[in-house]
């Protein structure tokens, strides 16, 4: 799973990646784990991402993202 907080211009400001083995990677403007990096480009819209069948994008609330973000150090890879 990949969770990204985006700016108004769809640039990632925080990101959490959770792998199937339970390891977690994260990145923000001041720190990141070795494997999790921001995209160099703006993140496409949800309809655009949905065109690729390997992704199932969904928008979550700021509160839901904060809950995920608060757990980012639990199993950092």
Q: Would the pTM of this model clear 0.95, i.e. be above it?
A: no
Has residue 14 been placed in a domain? yes
Has residue 75 been placed in a domain? no
27-31, 64-68, 71-75: the lowest-pLDDT one? 71-75
Count: domains in the chain: 1
Has residue 54 been placed in a domain? yes
Confidence of residue 34 (pLDDT cuts 50, 70, 90): confident
Whole-number Å distance between alpha carbons of 65 and 63:
5
The 10s digit of each residue's pLDDT in 52-71 is: 999 999 999 999 999 999 98
Mean pLDDT, rounded, for 5-17 = 96
- Distance between alpha carbon 23 and the CA centroid of its chain, in Å? 14
> In which domain, by residue range, is 13 found?
2-70
Has residue 77 been placed in a domain? no
pLDDT score recorded for residue 76:
60
């Amino acid at each position: 799973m990949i969770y990204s907080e985006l700016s108004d211009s769809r640039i990632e400001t925080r990101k959490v990646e959770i792998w199937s083995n339970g390891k977690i990677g994260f990145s923000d403007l001041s720190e990141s784990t070795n494997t999790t990096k921001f995209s160099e480009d703006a993140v496409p819209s949800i309809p655009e991402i949905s065109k690729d069948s390997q992704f199932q994008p969904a928008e979550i609330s700021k509160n839901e993202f904060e809950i995920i973000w608060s757990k980012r150090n639990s199993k950092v890879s």
